[in-house]
Amino acid sequence: MLVSRQLAESERLRVGDVVQLAPDKNGSEPRSFRIAGIYEPTPDPSRLGDAALEVRLHLPDLLSLTRDPLTPEGTEHVESINIALMDPSDARQFARDVAARMPGVMARPSADAGGNAERFVILERFHQAIAAVTITAATVFLLALTIMLVEERRETVGVLRLIGVPVRRVFMQVLVEGVVIAGFGWLFGLGLALASEGLINRFFQWRYDTALVFARITPGVAATCLMIAVPLGVVATSAASWALLRRGSLRLARR
Amino acid sequence: MNALAYAWRSLVRQPARAVLGVLGVAAVGALLFDMLLLSEGLVLSMRDLLDRTGYDIRVTAGDPGRDAGPLIDEAAAVAAAVSAQPSVRSAITVRLADARLAGASSAVRPRRAFLQGIGGEGGRPWTRRRGRDPMGTLEVVLNDEGVRALGVEIGSEVTVSVSSCSGNEEAPPPVTFRVVGVVTFPFDSPDDITAGLTAAGLADACGTDDHGVAHAVMVASRGDAARAAADISTLRPDLRVLTTDEALGAFQEQGFSYFRQISTVLTTVTVSFALLLIAVLLTVSVNQRLGEIAALRALGFSRRRVVADVLCESALTVGIGGGLSLPLGALLAVWLDSILKRMPEIPTELHFFVYHSDALLVHVSLLAATALLAALYPMATVARLPIAATLRNEVVS
Amino acid sequence: MIVRADDISRVFAMPAGPVVAVRNVSLGIGPGDYVAISGPSGCGKSTLLHMLGCVDTPSSGTLLFDQHDVSCMSDYARSLVRLRHIGFVFQRFFLLPMLTAWENVELPQAEAGVPRSERRARTGELLAYVGLASRADHRPSQLSGGEMQRVAIARALANRPRLVLADEPTGELDRSTGQQIAALLDRINADGTALVIVTHDSALAEHARRLLTMRDGRVEEEGGR
């Protein structure tokens, strides 16, 4: 049999060890099995926190071990049959064919079998809600900062206006600066996120003793951040500048 | 004009900036507050639900896992023996089953339901809303969803067809019960239909004679649950005894641990975020006023005073924002709670965000520490400000 | 003697090498003195003024304020000296923009712990003294340059200093306004307050009774009327 890594570590088992398995907690009618290998269980998000203390046997061995004495050999039942198709894209059609030919049997593609997927959809919405609040707070602070930074240039802008530089030219310059700052900010934020991704995954994988990946910065995520950060930076800078440029030149240049 | 009053005037001198700074702190503070509510919220809510049953110890034949678990043979005798313990106030047996319920009207299709068969003299693990508890064998109480979905009321008849009943592999014939009460079960999800019966009633519905078996014995101690649990373990070492505290401990380790972890991570991120942003706001604000500060120093304001001005400005921004963050956080918690409660199989009465006074204390402490730490760099800038050089630079610039 | 400087120098450490801003200067300022310090840009006038006002300390030599060695005072003690005994008038006024004229003048008194009723009386008196009683509720942004400087002078007089130091008090003002300020400074000195001004304005310097000319950090000549 194979044992999970977690079970091997918990019971200090090694390949080659002979152990006894019994079908009930009293240990009655045990059978001996040799550990042929140690495997890493497929991470299951719906079982987060559960210690993966499990073993894998040949099916006949498992059926033989757990068969009710009154059940004739060959009439046992299994919960499911996993099928690997030559062409995975045939999964839905195959499932329909099986269901049609064997009434009472439920066949479905693996992609649709995520019975617990809804829980993670909800969690995703929760995370998005947190992100929305964080972005809102960041935007508010960003506006405050850009107002202060633009205010610092009040005299300079006033003098430029007095000597005849058009509003549009000044505004465009500020806009370009806003794009550059937002772009660099996005890059820095992305770097910070990538570094955090590693830390978060390492921490939670250690904490839950799992190979699950908890955080992943995909190109899509990076692109979404860019599409939020740069326009926000530009809008904040523009809003602050517009408020400033509306004032008269003399008022701006006056100390 | 003391430091606080001066700081207030400095703050309102640029109202847009001040309002935005306060709002930013309020938003971040609201998120921080909610994460603190989340850190213990589930445990507190679960404890509340467990306490609503009226029992603080659960005795089972083994680990229930993902279904009702194995039956306790002679559970009624176990309950009677447990009840006789001096540390125990009362004990009841609980047997569970799945069934389909149908009302009298054929227009209403049968619905899947969970059955709880209760034996013993102790209080029932539900809250009665209308009517009374079942006493006879053919009496049943339903929850609100059951009454609504089946179109029945107190006095109506419902037909119970048990589909899964431990101890009987064959599907028993349907049995008709009379509804005698409408109750609330603590762990019901919004769409759950749950029915409460007597132990004998459930045995009849299961088509068996054995009224004494049950999935669990629920025990109410006389105040010392740990001692009562120890007494029960001594009496029946073959059974698994779990107090409410132990059950919650297990939930913490498994099902709830994700939310504790995310709460800790987000609390850390939120505080760091607030610290950074407030520090930047204050630093930029101070840097814009260096000439003014140097002039105040030249006029005789002590280093301590100008540093106190900066600290007060930070305290005001964080204090006002922090005050606003509480009602904002409460609203945000309602929204976030409603998102998480859409997860399947979450009891209606279970909440993820629950107020507890520790959360408020930690929130205030963290914000106070943030105000102080964020002001450190600008305070140092102001404390070390070379007066003469700054005045000179102001003239030159 | 209010301030006595004996052979004081001030050296600034710069990346390109030390810069001697003030070199071996000795002078004394007594009660009622009116001293003007002039000289080309960068000759050390403002640095000398800052040292006399206990804003800065000499790198060498002895500087005494009221017989106390300024170099031996803590920063807090020097702050108290400036608060209670010295008034500063700056070229750029440095009024607090979020406070009214009244509040700007009242601020140093509050910091010095003057009781509220006394502050009110003193502030009203000072604003009338500088001719701005009717502008007490105006913020600096609502005042002209000359008016702002008069408020700054009133602020400098708030705690009845024995010595007022003014760094280019007419530097940002037109001639006519500058003359008004000069007249006000004359009045302050006539009322018994010692005055030291740094100025490029020869017309202002002529009002002083002692004129120090600085060059390269040294006092090259001392004249007067």
Q: What are B332-344's pLDDT values in tens digits?
A: 999 999 999 988 8
Banded model confidence at residue B64, pLDDT cuts 50, 70, 90? low
Mean pLDDT of B133-159: 93
Mean pLDDT of B43-48: 92
A46 to chain B: nearest residue by CA?
B255
Instruction: Say whether C83 and B295 touch across the interface (CB within 8 A).
Output: no
Q: Of B265, B273, B284, which has the smallest distance from its Cβ to A148's Cβ? A: B284
Domains for chain C: give ranges and CATH numbers: 33-57+74-224 (3.40.50.300)
Average pLDDT of the residues of chain B: 89
Mean pLDDT of B246-253: 84
Banded model confidence at residue B256, pLDDT cuts 50, 70, 90? confident
Clarify whether residues A146 and A218 are in a common domain: yes
Average pLDDT of the residues of chain A: 84
Clarify whether residues A110 and A121 are in a common domain: no
pLDDT for residue B168: 56
Instruction: Say whether B295 and C46 touch across the interface (CB within 8 A).
Output: no
Look up tokens 């001005």; give the residue: B309
Q: Are A217 and A193 a contacting pair, CB within 8 Å?
A: yes
Instruction: Say whether A148 and B285 touch across the interface (CB within 8 A).
Output: yes
Contacts of A126 in chain B (CB under 8 A): 336, 339-340
User: CA B383, CA B30: separation in Å to the nearest integer?
Assistant: 33
More confident residue, B81 or A244: B81
pLDDT of A38 above 80: yes
Q: Look at the alpha carbons of A128, A130, A134, A140 in this order and tell me if their dihedral is positive or negative.
A: positive
Instruction: Report which secondary-structure segment, H or E, holds B176.
Output: strand B175-184
What percentage of chain A reaches a pLDDT higher than 70?
92
Contacts of B277 in chain A (CB under 8 A): 138, 141
Pairing of strands C218-224, C210-215: antiparallel
CA distance C225 to chain B (A): 30
Please enumerate in sequence order all residues whose Cβ is within 8 A of that of B184, keeping only pairs 6 or more positions apart, or say none: B126, B127, B129, B143, B144, B349
Q: How many CB atoms lie within 10 A of CB B304?
A: 13
User: CA B362, CA B375: separation in Å to the nearest integer?
Assistant: 20
**Last residue within a domain, chosen from A29, A53, A79:** A79
Clarify whether residues A127 and A220 are in a common domain: yes
Helix (H/G/I), strand (E/B), else coil: A117: helix
Clarify whether residues A248 and A126 are in a common domain: yes
- Report the DSSP beta bridge partners of residue B221: B88
| Mutation choice for A interface testing from B31, B263, B286, B325 by most A CBs within 10 A | B31
User: CA B30, CA A129: separation in Å to the nearest integer?
Assistant: 13
pLDDT for residue B257: 76
Please enumerate in sequence order all residues whose Cβ is within 8 A of that of A171, keeping only pairs 6 or more positions apart, or say none: A238, A241, A242, A245
Q: How many CB atoms lie within 10 A of CB A119?
A: 18
Q: Are B341 and B180 a contacting pair, CB within 8 Å?
A: no
Q: Are B102 and B158 a contacting pair, CB within 8 Å?
A: yes
Clarify whether residues A218 and A228 are in a common domain: yes
pLDDT for residue A138: 84
Mean pLDDT of A48-68: 85
- ipTM of predicted complex: 0.83
pLDDT for residue A243: 75
Clarify whether residues A192 and A245 are in a common domain: yes
Report the domain count for chain A.
3
Number of residue pairs across B and C with CB atoms under 8 Å? 81
Lowest-confidence region among A134-143, B315-324, B379-388: A134-143
Q: How many CB atoms lie within 10 A of CB C112?
A: 15
Clarify whether residues A90 and A181 are in a common domain: no
Q: How many CB atoms lie within 10 A of CB A145?
A: 21
Over the stretch B347-369, which tens digit does the pLDDT of each residue have? Answer: 899 999 999 999 999 999 999 99
pLDDT of B259 above 90: no
Instruction: Say whether C92 and B304 touch across the interface (CB within 8 A).
Output: no
Q: Does A131 touch chain B (CB under 8 A)?
A: no
Please enumerate in sequence order all residues whose Cβ is within 8 A of that of B383, keeping only pairs 6 or more positions apart, or say none: B303, B306, B307
Tell me which residue range forms the domain holding A101: 85-115
C77 to chain B: nearest residue by CA?
B302
Banded model confidence at residue A116, pLDDT cuts 50, 70, 90? low
Q: What does DSSP assign to residue B123?
A: P
pTM of the model: 0.81
pLDDT for residue A114: 60
CA distance A151 to chain B (A): 9
Q: What does DSSP assign to residue A247?
A: S
> Hey, where are the domains in chain B?
3-49+255-396, 62-238
Banded model confidence at residue B195, pLDDT cuts 50, 70, 90? very high
pLDDT for residue B67: 58
pLDDT for residue B68: 64
Clarify whether residues A72 and A169 are in a common domain: no
Q: Where are the beta strands (DSSP E) in chain A?
A: 2-4, 18-21, 31-34, 37-39, 55-56
Look up tokens 């030249």; give the residue: B298
A40: tokens are 């890493």
- Please list the pLDDT of chain C residue by residue as tens digits (225 residues): 899 999 999 998 888 889 999 999 999 999 999 999 998 888 889 999 999 999 889 999 999 999 999 999 988 889 989 999 999 998 888 888 889 999 999 999 998 999 999 999 999 999 999 999 999 999 998 999 899 999 999 999 999 999 999 999 988 888 888 888 999 999 999 999 999 999 988 888 888 999 999 998 998 877 776
Backbone angles phi and psi of B369, in degrees to 5: -65, -40
Mean pLDDT of A13-21: 94
Clarify whether residues A131 and A237 are in a common domain: yes
User: CA A181, CA A178: separation in Å to the nearest integer?
Assistant: 5
pLDDT for residue A255: 47
Clarify whether residues A108 and A219 are in a common domain: no
What percentage of chain A reaches a pLDDT higher than 90?
23
Instruction: Say whether C86 and B394 touch across the interface (CB within 8 A).
Output: no
pLDDT for residue C114: 93
Pairing of strands B139-142, B175-184: parallel
Q: Does A119 touch chain B (CB under 8 A)?
A: yes
Clarify whether residues A108 and A207 are in a common domain: no
pLDDT of A80 above 90: no
